[in-house]
A and B are shown apart, each in its own frame.
Chain A
Amino acid sequence: MSVVDTQLHTSVDSHVHHDEHHDHEHHEQSFIRKYIFSEDHKIIAKQFLITGIFWAIIGGIFSVIFRLQLGFPDANLEILRPILGGWITEQGKLDQNFYLALVTMHGTIMIFFVLTAGLSGTFSNFLIPLQIGARDMASGFLNMLSYWFFFASSVVMFISIFIKTGPAAGGWVIYPPLSALPQASLGSGLGMTMWLISMALFIVGSLLGSINYVTTVINLRTKGMSMWRLPLTVWAFFLTAVIGILSFPVLFSAALLLIFDRSFGTSFYLDQIYIDGEALHHSGGSALLFQHLFWFLGHPEVYIVLLPALGITSEIIATNARKPIFGYSAMVISMLAITFISFIVWAHHMFVTGMNPFLGSVFMLLTLIIAVPSAVKSFNYITTLWRGNIVFTPAMLFSIGLVSFFISGGVTGIALGNSAIDIQLHDTYFVVAHFHLVMGSASFFGMLAGIYHWFPKMFGRMMDDKLGYVHFWITFIGVYFVFFPMHYIGIAGFPRRYYSWTNFDAFSSYTDLNMLISIAAIIALSAQFIFLFNFFYSIFYGRLAPLNPWRSNTLEWTTPRLPGHGNWPGKIPTVYRWPYDYSKPNAKEDFIPQNVPHYETIESNLEHEKELEEYDRELAKEGDIQISSHAH
Chain B
Amino acid sequence: MTSLLIITGTILIIALFALVYRILALVNIAKGTHEKRVGFSNTVNGFLFIVFFFVGFGAFFWYSGKAEYLPPPSSEHGVITDNLFWVTTAIITVAFVLTHILLFFFPYWFRFREDRKAHWYPDNTKLELLWTVIPGAVMALLVITGLIEWTKITAPAPEDAVQFEIVGKQFNWMVRYPGKDGKLGKYDYTKIDGTNQLGMDFANDKANFDDFIPREIHIPKGKPVKLNIRARDVLHSVYMPHFRVKMDAVPGMPTTFWFIPTKTTAEMRKELNNDKFNYEMACTEVCGNGHFAMRMIIVVDEPEEFNKWVTEQEPWASQNKDYIAGLNLRDLNLADLEK
Could you list which residues of chain A lie within 8 angstroms of chain B, going by C-beta atoms? 82, 96-97, 99-100, 169-171, 175, 177-178, 181, 184-186, 270-275, 277, 279, 283, 285-288, 321-330, 352-354, 357, 360-361, 364-365, 368-369, 371-372, 375-376, 378-383, 385-392, 397, 400, 403-404, 407-408, 411-412, 414-415, 418-421, 423-428, 464-467, 469, 473, 476-477, 480, 484, 488, 491-493, 495-501, 503-507, 533, 537, 541, 543, 580, 582-585, 590
Query: From A387, which residue of chain B is reached at the shortest CB distance?
Result: B119
Question: Are B170 and A184 in contact (CB-based, < 8 A)?
Answer: yes
* Minimum CB–CB distance for B250 against chain A, Å: 5
26 A–B pairs (Cβ distance < 8 Å), ordered by A: A96-B290, A100-B286, A279-B190, A326-B124, A352-B248, A354-B253, A364-B147, A365-B143, A382-B99, A382-B106, A385-B103, A386-B110, A389-B118, A411-B95, A418-B146, A420-B80, A423-B245, A424-B78, A424-B81, A427-B284, A465-B41, A469-B41, A473-B48, A505-B277, A584-B120, A590-B117
Question: Are A274 and B103 in contact (CB-based, < 8 A)?
Answer: no
Question: Are B142 and A414 in contact (CB-based, < 8 A)?
Answer: yes
Query: How many residues of chain B get a CB closer than 8 Å to chain A's CBs?
Result: 119
Instruction: Select which of A181, A427, A473 is within 8 A of B285 by beta carbon.
Output: A427
Query: 6 nearest interchain CB pairs?
Result: A271-B252, A357-B154, A387-B119, A354-B255, A411-B92, A583-B118
In the complex, chain A residues whose CB is within 8 Å of the CB of B46: 390, 392
Is B131 positioned at the interface, with any CB of A under 8 Å from its CB? yes
Query: From A498, which residue of chain B is reached at the shortest CB distance?
Result: B292
Question: Are B284 and A426 in contact (CB-based, < 8 A)?
Answer: yes
Query: From A428, which residue of chain B is reached at the shortest CB distance?
Result: B284
Question: Are A287 and B242 in contact (CB-based, < 8 A)?
Answer: no
Question: Are B142 and A361 in contact (CB-based, < 8 A)?
Answer: no
Question: Are A371 and B287 in contact (CB-based, < 8 A)?
Answer: no
Instruction: Select which of B29, B117, B139, B286 is within 8 A of A178 by beta carbon.
Output: B286
Question: Are A388 and B110 in contact (CB-based, < 8 A)?
Answer: yes
Instruction: Select which of B149, B192, B276 is within 8 A of A274 by beta carbon.
Output: B192
In the complex, chain A residues whose CB is within 8 Å of the CB of B199: 274
* Minimum CB–CB distance for B260 against chain A, Å: 15
* Bound: A317/B146 CA distance, A: 36
Instruction: Select which of B113, B131, B282 is within 8 A of A375 by beta carbon.
Output: B131
Binds A, one of B216-224, B230-238, B299-307, B318-326: B230-238
Query: From A416, which residue of chain B is reached at the shortest CB distance?
Result: B88
Query: From B94, which residue of chain A is reached at the shortest CB distance?
Result: A411
* Bound: A271/B286 CA distance, A: 18
Query: From A580, which residue of chain B is reached at the shortest CB distance?
Result: B122
* Bound: A375/B124 CA distance, A: 16
Is B158 positioned at the interface, with any CB of A under 8 Å from its CB? no
In the complex, chain B residues whose CB is within 8 Å of the CB of A361: 147, 150-151
Interface residues in B235-294 by Cβ distance below 8 A to A read 235, 237, 239, 241-242, 244-248, 250-253, 255, 276-278, 280, 282-293
In the complex, chain A residues whose CB is within 8 Å of the CB of B253: 271, 286-288, 354
Question: Are B250 and A353 in contact (CB-based, < 8 A)?
Answer: yes
Interface residues in B27-69 by Cβ distance below 8 A to A read 29, 34, 37-38, 41-42, 44-46, 48-49, 52, 56, 60, 63-64, 69
Query: From B131, which residue of chain A is reached at the shortest CB distance?
Result: A379
Interface string of B111-132 (1 = CB under 8 A from A): 1110011111111100110011
Is B204 positioned at the interface, with any CB of A under 8 Å from its CB? no
* Bound: A206/B135 CA distance, A: 35
Question: Are A397 and B118 in contact (CB-based, < 8 A)?
Answer: no
* Minimum CB–CB distance for A1 against chain B, Å: 31
In the complex, chain B residues whose CB is within 8 Å of the CB of A322: 112, 117-118
Q: Which of B99, B251, B253, B286 has the most CB of A within 10 A?
A: B286
In the complex, chain B residues whose CB is within 8 Å of the CB of A181: 233-234
